[in-house]
Chains A and B, each alone.
Chain A
């Protein structure tokens, strides 16, 4: 039934621009619903209204995984869209599909649309460029983890809400105080692997995987069982055992607890801003993600999560011209600044960030620039450019399982990460042999 309905919807969206026959159609498949879906529709409508040569037709294809699968299935049936939204985890899969995707830098060069790769923020762009600096896909929505603080909960537990929370050492002390002050949920997190392993590694400038986190080759192995990661997870495991860190699930389930005012501290994406600011009935703060002073005196940059737009092979030249125009429109400063302010996602160009600052947005909404600063304060290193691992969706699943074993006390952090490495490496070898 749902399928039929979706099918019918797809048909109507495809048929609707029949009136404008002379225009070249560009298909754009994405994974956004709700408020984000509306914002995407608005962007597409604005582009369509701004010129008369091309019509971009957007369709929603389910969540991130489903959208990627829809794109792959469509490619196998030679019915692929021009533009496919793929989440950061699928980057290696897309990169290895040389005959299926057309790199963005090529599309831009051929279409003649204005395109300056240097305009993009390094740590955003880095995730989606080759080691030679060629941009393969256009960053679309990017966020990075930060620490959200419920100031009221801190006060209620007798902790000064302005306490310095920049290091995990300090956070540990505050968690003790919160617990002693009667707080039942001192710390909660979303996206545990992304925040407490992937970003943790980049932030402390330690490798997550060999071969520059997979950027330098397919023969990469996980290195997430290093001393820094294990020390962090051991501390988290101890906090979980003492009821100072509450585990709520693999995705962003903890967001509901935090927004309802049940938890004091929350590590979550900067894009949690839209939800928290609209629902929270308490004073909240955004702080930079904490780091361990014992590991580094000064943290590196964090890495991004989110999705980018990939251009698929197998279409006509004039259609690619339209794709180029649309991508160039999306990267324009005004569109990016509006997107950044509406969603809490990072601006993908430095210019859009400057425009947002100039408009006084950061002064009116304190803390919304922390994510930008955290990402751009330092030039990314080989450990903090991003991750490019095959079968990464599955590997994250393995990491989630192993982390759950740590939180429940079934395994020590070292055992769990050794096992995650072993199991993850097996998948990486399979991916390597599938893409030789």
Chain B
């Protein structure tokens, strides 16, 4: 039986949701409406004049092959960042969960990178892989590998993915670790008595029980990869070489705030809004069906 609490009257429930509605209106609906409106114009940077172009900005964008390529780049980038931040996090959480002594120390150390701001993380990784003074690139050259993310798009992509995923592993670790703690011991013990070894227990019992957490992290990490990795890309590659690391949100920034092209920038925000909306619908419609609560 489902338990339902009902309110008498309208005032209290309205009051209770009012703060959330106001916040959404001010920080989401209003700016989103502004972006949609502005995407129909080509304004000059100073806001002195603007020209109505209808869907001209969208036409301009979609006829740009680099913009279309940026969708693929974004898809590759966010998939890699999500995988590279979730799989190691899950692995570390499982290991830390098995520890009897000193798990507190490991836990603390593993959470630290989350405190590093994306732009700072970007600079840290850039230093390690700097083609001239970088420690890692020096070791690579000793092994006979010539690291040059300045010219090599694949290497640049690898570097921004690692730098973006690194701090995120801590965040995911925290959630996986908490979820692991809440897996009922009795179920695992029963399976152990039946003769299931560790990895079998993990894949048939623990993983399905972790699926709500994993789904939550999937959504959060994809959003992270889409929107918050901007600082890392800005500090490491600036979107290059040859736009190999220009993801959609980075292009919004560089066209709007470097290029002063606010019309195109707004149109890109609108497209991004649609893309993320679609992604969320897909995630909830298809992926969530496979989640057991």
Minimal beta-carbon separation of A18 from chain B (angstroms): 31
Among B43-51, B212-220, B273-281, the stretch that binds chain A is: B43-51
Which chain B residues (242-293) contact chain A, with CB distance < 8 Å?
242-243, 254-255, 257-261, 263-264
Among A118-126, A154-162, A318-326, A402-410, the stretch that binds chain B is: A402-410
Contacts of B24 in A (CB 8 A): none
A100 touches B258 (CB 8 A): no
Minimal beta-carbon separation of B116 from chain A (angstroms): 13
Nearest B-chain residue to A65, judged by Cβ: B258
Q: A400 at interface (Cβ–Cβ under 8 A)?
A: yes
A423 touches B66 (CB 8 A): yes
Residue among B51, B242, B257, B264 with most chain A CB within 10 A: B242
Nearest B-chain residue to A77, judged by Cβ: B47
Contacts of A407 in B (CB 8 A): 151
A401 touches B260 (CB 8 A): no
Which chain A residues (239-256) contact chain B, with CB distance < 8 Å?
247-250, 253, 256
Assuming the contacts A247-B151, A394-B261, asked whether A435 and B240 have C-beta atoms less than 8 A apart, the reply is no
Interchain CB contact (< 8 A) of B42 among A100, A404, A430: A430
Q: A336 at interface (Cβ–Cβ under 8 A)?
A: no
Assuming the contacts A423-B66, A436-B51, asked whether A394 and B259 have C-beta atoms less than 8 A apart, the reply is yes
A426 to B103, CA, bound (A): 58
Interface size on B (CB < 8 Å)? Answer: 34
A99 touches B48 (CB 8 A): yes
B243 touches A401 (CB 8 A): yes
A405 touches B242 (CB 8 A): yes
Assuming the contacts A249-B150, A430-B60, A433-B51, asked whether A97 and B240 have C-beta atoms less than 8 A apart, the reply is no
Residue among B46, B64, B132, B254 with most chain A CB within 10 A: B46
A285 to B274, CA, bound (A): 57
A401 to B70, CA, bound (A): 14
B131 touches A248 (CB 8 A): yes
Interchain CB contact (< 8 A) of B43 among A75, A96, A434, A436: A434
B132 touches A256 (CB 8 A): yes
B44 touches A394 (CB 8 A): no
B48 touches A393 (CB 8 A): no
Minimal beta-carbon separation of B3 from chain A (angstroms): 45
Contacts of B47 in A (CB 8 A): 75-76
Which chain A residues (361-416) contact chain B, with CB distance < 8 Å?
391, 393-394, 397, 400-402, 404-405, 407-408, 410
Nearest B-chain residue to A390, judged by Cβ: B260
Q: A193 at interface (Cβ–Cβ under 8 A)?
A: no
Q: B181 at interface (Cβ–Cβ under 8 A)?
A: no
Minimal beta-carbon separation of B246 from chain A (angstroms): 9
A256 to B133, CA, bound (A): 10
Q: B152 at interface (Cβ–Cβ under 8 A)?
A: yes
Contacts of B208 in A (CB 8 A): none
Minimal beta-carbon separation of B240 from chain A (angstroms): 6
Residue among A253, A401, A436 with most chain B CB within 10 A: A401
Contacts of A426 in B (CB 8 A): 60, 64
Minimal beta-carbon separation of A418 from chain B (angstroms): 14
Q: A48 at interface (Cβ–Cβ under 8 A)?
A: no
A250 touches B44 (CB 8 A): no
Residues 229-241 of chain B, each 1 if its beta carbon lies under 8 Å from chain A, else 0: 0000000001111
A98 to B259, CA, bound (A): 19
Contacts of B254 in A (CB 8 A): 394, 397
Contacts of B133 in A (CB 8 A): 256
Besides A250-B240, A391-B259, 19 more A-B contacts (Cβ < 8 Å) are A69-B258, A69-B260, A72-B46, A97-B46, A249-B150, A262-B132, A393-B259, A400-B240, A401-B240, A402-B242, A404-B150, A404-B240, A408-B152, A423-B64, A430-B263, A430-B264, A434-B43, A434-B51, A434-B261
18 A-B contacts (beta carbon < 8 Å): A69-B258, A72-B46, A76-B46, A96-B44, A247-B151, A253-B132, A253-B150, A391-B261, A394-B258, A397-B239, A397-B254, A397-B258, A401-B240, A423-B66, A433-B42, A434-B42, A434-B44, A436-B51
